Amino acid sequence: MSELFSATDQDRRNRRVQKLFRLLFLVMTVFLILPVVIILILLVVNGGSMLTWSFITEFPTNGMTAGGVYPALLGTIFLVGVDLLISMPLGIAMAIYLSEYARDNWLTRLINLAIINLAGVPSIVYALFGVGAFVIFFGFGTSILSAALTLGIMTLPVVIVATREALQAVPQAFREACWAMGATRWQTIQTVVLPNAVSGILTALILEVSRTAGETAPIMFTGAAFFLPFLPASVFDQTMALSLHLFVVSTQVPEVPEPLPFGVALLLIGIVLLMNVLSIGFRIYVRGKKKW
């Protein structure tokens, strides 16, 4: 009887193949993670000594070879915040239309194709578009608003695609049950679909923050300044930014202390990681409250 349940040669071969592919995928995962770990270690070793309270809270001095990065740090937060205020509502609204209202016709397919193509456009093209559209045509000048609008247009496809996937992941039965109770389409979206898609929408926010904080070309031409001895008073002022500041101290400023660029890079990555951790933590909390 035991011979009927003993492993055959084919079973053993399948197990060997399964172990081989498991090992292959593990090696690939390690090779993907290893560069990130090496970069973080190099930044901590070379720039960890720069991360002091004075480095975070002081203005650059001595031609940006000393002092801190406070205006660049604050400017990065301003740019990310204004970008989120502009692109997140617009991206969510477009995703709701495409997922819940739009019919499958040539116009919808054309919009989807445009979104896919926009996601692959280089950032320098968005920078030139931002100069022509927001700086010159609308007359916003080189300002936080122009830079944030440019970043918002650039990250809009990411928000739309991630939010749409989150909306479509909500079971259709939820919508049908709500419609059966006499709710309108918007009431269903507002009370059922959106609350159950919050975790996916937060994923879009994480992706947007990660890309926005590290972009240099779009803000270099539209709103970021090489150096400013003061903080911006409104969204119509220029601002410094960590990504541009890192580029400047790495390539344009002579006699920069060797740890300084590493410290700026480490701070920039730390800010992005902190925002991501907070968003991921909230997303996990929201997912834990789901009933399905």
Nearest to 124 by CA among 211, 244, 219, 240: 219
- Every domain of the chain and the residues it spans: 2-50, 53-288
Confidence of residue 13 (pLDDT cuts 50, 70, 90): confident
Confidence of residue 219 (pLDDT cuts 50, 70, 90): very high
| Cβ neighbours, 10 Å, residue 173 | 9
Report how far apart, in Å, the C-alpha atoms of 166 and of each of 92, 106, 170, 198, 199 are.
Answer: 10, 23, 7, 8, 8
As a whole number of angstroms, the distance between CA 276 and CA 210 comes to 8
Residue 288 reports pLDDT greater than 80: no
Give tens-digit pLDDT for 95-112: 999 888 888 888 888 888
Note the pLDDT of residue 181.
Answer: 86
Position with higher pLDDT, 202 vs 132: 132
Confidence of residue 206 (pLDDT cuts 50, 70, 90): confident
For residue 238, give both structure tokens. 């220029």
Give tens-digit pLDDT for 61-93: 888 888 889 999 999 999 999 999 988 999 999
Note the pLDDT of residue 12.
Answer: 81
Average the pLDDT over each of 10-19, 21-30, 41-50, 92-101 and give the range with the smallest value: 10-19
Decide yes or no: CATH 1.10.3720.10 for domain 53-288: yes
Note the pLDDT of residue 92.
Answer: 92
Note the pLDDT of residue 290.
Answer: 64
Position with higher pLDDT, 14 vs 140: 140
